[in-house]
Amino acid sequence: MREELRIAAAHWSAPREPGKRRWWQSPTILQHINEVTCGKPLVGAWAGLIDRMRLERPEGWGRGISVGCGEGAKEISLARIGLVDHFDLYEISEVRAEKGRALAEAQGVSDKVAFHTRDAFQEDLGQYDLVYWNNALHHMLDTNDAVRWSRDRLKKGGSFVMDDYVGRNRLQWSSAEMDVAEKVRRLLPERFLRDPLNLDRELPLRPLPLSVEEWIRRDPTECADSENIIPAITSYFPEAEITYTGGVIYHLALNDVIAHFDEDEDRHLLSALLMADLAYARAGLTHYAVVIARR
């Protein structure tokens, strides 16, 4: 395994810090993203993407492949509801792959998913009905090669499905993005701006990015080439359906801040911020996108 992948595998094998600090831990934000994705405020993570997939191919897919799947919970759910008959799942962390195998067993689909802890790009693979990327494509060191590889893995009429971060490389926020985040944080009551890991400390009003060097030290794959995802998709799948799902507010401005939102009492405030986020996305300032394409 390449050294970058060994470092990344160690990073993703480590325990995660508890608590609601990120957008994917907020039911309200997930519901908003689902509505942007499919037009319906569905409850649950990636429910909007699943709805779009059902519309794309109601009968589902035969063989699917997913690279960088983590514990494979998203892919296992697709197998469990019958949208994919069989998944080959590639994950560089053996710890996460083992958790995935246990999850598949618990959900009764261990015969429908196969975990592999090898580099998929070095494998002699056949073709698939579905290539599925869910918040993993931004970890590829060369996203153009990864999208081209995806196209080449697809049978004629097969589907490329992606929900992923498509923003700036190494999370190096632009001045415009930091301006938006600062404006949002200045509008919030002081109680929202406490560091959830140390309540005696305030979060910065302007969330400056970690350095490129620090990201590489932590995880060399983190957003290494994310800026090239959309250009690659439009090159290899020129008729792709692309939906920009935002993030400059819910991903950047509310990072850590979301820990202090009560999903009921603060719902109206959070909903207003998400409407603003959608407006920024439609104006071209987005961190995430959903893509469905066919070969």
Across 113-236, the runs of DSSP E, i.e. the strands, are: 113-116, 128-134, 154-165, 194-195, 198-202
Phi, psi of 239 (to 5 degrees): -105, 20
82-121 per-position pLDDT tens digit: 999 999 999 999 999 999 999 999 999 999 999 999 999 9
pTM, rounded to two decimals: 0.92
What DSSP character marks residue 66?
Answer: E
53-91 per-position pLDDT tens digit: 999 999 999 999 999 999 999 999 999 999 999 999 999
Percent of the chain's residues with pLDDT above 90? 93
Nearest CA among 110, 119, 120 for reference residue 87: 110
With left for phi above 0 and alpha for psi between -120 and 50, is residue 219 left, alpha or beta?
A: beta
Per-residue confidence (pLDDT) for residue 34, from 0 to 100: 98
Whether the per-residue pLDDT at 18 is higher than 70: the answer is: no
- Rounded to whole angstroms, the Cα distance separating 67 from 128 reads 13
Per-residue confidence (pLDDT) for residue 9, from 0 to 100: 58
Looking at residue 85, its amino acid is D
Per-residue confidence (pLDDT) for residue 12, from 0 to 100: 46
Residue 175 CB neighbour total at 10 angstroms = 7
The mean per-residue pLDDT over the stretch 277-290 comes to: 97
The mean per-residue pLDDT over the stretch 266-271 comes to: 97
With left for phi above 0 and alpha for psi between -120 and 50, is residue 256 left, alpha or beta?
A: left
Confidence of residue 20 (pLDDT cuts 50, 70, 90): confident
The mean per-residue pLDDT over the stretch 187-199 comes to: 95
Tokens encoding 166 = 């498509």
The mean per-residue pLDDT over the stretch 160-186 comes to: 98
Nearest CA among 5, 293, 295 for reference residue 122: 5
38-48 per-position pLDDT tens digit: 999 999 999 99
Contact status, residue 274 vs residue 29, Cβ threshold 8 Å: yes
- Rounded to whole angstroms, the Cα distance separating 293 from 295 reads 7
Work out the mean pLDDT of the chain and round it to a whole number: 94
Lowest mean pLDDT among 5-9, 29-33, 190-194, 203-207: 5-9
Tokens encoding 245 = 């799902």
